[in-house]
Structure 1
């Protein structure tokens, strides 16, 4: 355990992150749109030593540095953020990994998640809207009561094909989750996926499930039937 990692001042933590910078990691991350060069396992190790520090998290976020923001999301208190603070953070989070961690590690645990889901899904910014659809997928799977699932399928059918990449991916996930979790809508979800062919040719590594919704739905239903 290093002194700099446990004392937790902003300058010390930033210095440690700078020391973890690896040009090879930065190059690999850059191909995915993430502008940082810190190995995520090492980043998580720093977060584990720091434990939860909300004010440090806010200070790390304010630097605008991608690695610092990822660390901020690991040491923050998700329920301590106000609704408008989370909204502003999301609009600043253009790096895909920061966007993903903010939604999954922080917003999903926030009491403002549903309010933000509704607002973001209707936002004209496709990156913001993709966060709304990510939260919608979570609700479809875990708390679907009150959701208009046929209406969601209508929107996906009408808009997913031409949506920008991140928004398209998030809408496709909602489509798949509806098909997996709700048998009464499965046939329609499969039909939409087959007709739109979104992500049909997405390169999928061996032993991984394709994100193409019909393959994804059928594979997960098959696994559930065996469980």
Structure 2
């Protein structure tokens, strides 16, 4: 018999509390997160709940990170207004909530392009990072209308001294320009070599370094093989 999904906020919060594990929290805290629920178990709960926009809004309002991650899995991305998404991003306190909000909700929103333009120029580096993440998405999937040379100008001028989260997303954008747009590849490689951002980033065996020249070269090699 299929397990019955909890119906209300209090039931869901009780189930999240039951799923919480001290070891999971300890591991997550090393990455700046504070949720104590295994993400596989969180996704299983979301699958049982299915889409529940009303419950998603209530879960987000609790400010609990596990509840907010669950909210992002069961919400309707297109149901949120532009200002609502902007406020949610600024409230996102942990990296995982921030990343899931951008990846699972904002990218599917009709307000994504408006927010991309606004966020990229924001003084808050965490907000600007979200703008660059959305820009990277466009570079890879919908580059029409983007000034790729202009993006490279900004990256060359600002990435070296950018705060870590923003620097990471700018570097990702640099790599995608080099990978997906051959006409800009030589410059992207040159910018990466000159700035040396993430050149010494520890990389596990079998994984590709996030250092843009290495990343670009490896991904292009795979495309050609």
TM-score class, shorter-chain normalisation, is over 0.9
1:101 aligns with 2:100: yes
CA distance in 2, matches of 1:158, 1:18: 46
Q: Distance in 2 between matches of 1:23 and 1:94?
A: 20
Superposition map of 1:106-125 within 5 A = 106-125=105-124
Cα distance between partner residues in 2 of 1:208 and 1:39: 24
Q: CA deviation at 1:206?
A: 1.0
**Aligned pairs for 1:10-21 within 5 A:** 10-21=9-20
Q: Deviations over 1:81-131 (max 9, x none)?
A: 110000000000120000000000000000000000000000000000000
Match of 2:220 in 1: 221
The corresponding residue for 2:27 is: 28
The match for 2:8 is 9
Alignment of 1:77-226 (within 5 A): 77-226=76-225
User: What is the Cα deviation at residue 75 of structure 1?
Assistant: 0.3
- Separation in 2 of the partners of 1:38 and 1:199? 30
Distance in 2, Cα, partners of 1:28 & 1:86: 29
Q: Work out the CA distance in 1 between the residues paired with 2:9 and 2:104.
A: 21
1:25 CA displacement: 0.4
TM-score, normalised via structure 1 length: 0.98
- Structure-1 residue corresponding to 2:49: 50
How far did residue 78 of structure 1 move?
0.6
What TM-score results when the alignment is normalised by the length of structure 2? 0.98
SS in 2 for 1:205: coil
Superposition deviation, residue 169 in structure 1:
0.1
Unaligned runs of 5+ in 1: none
Report the equivalent of 1:66. 65
Query: Does the residue aligned with 2:216 lie in a helix, a strand or coil?
Result: helix
Q: C-alpha displacement at 1:2, in angstroms?
A: 3.7
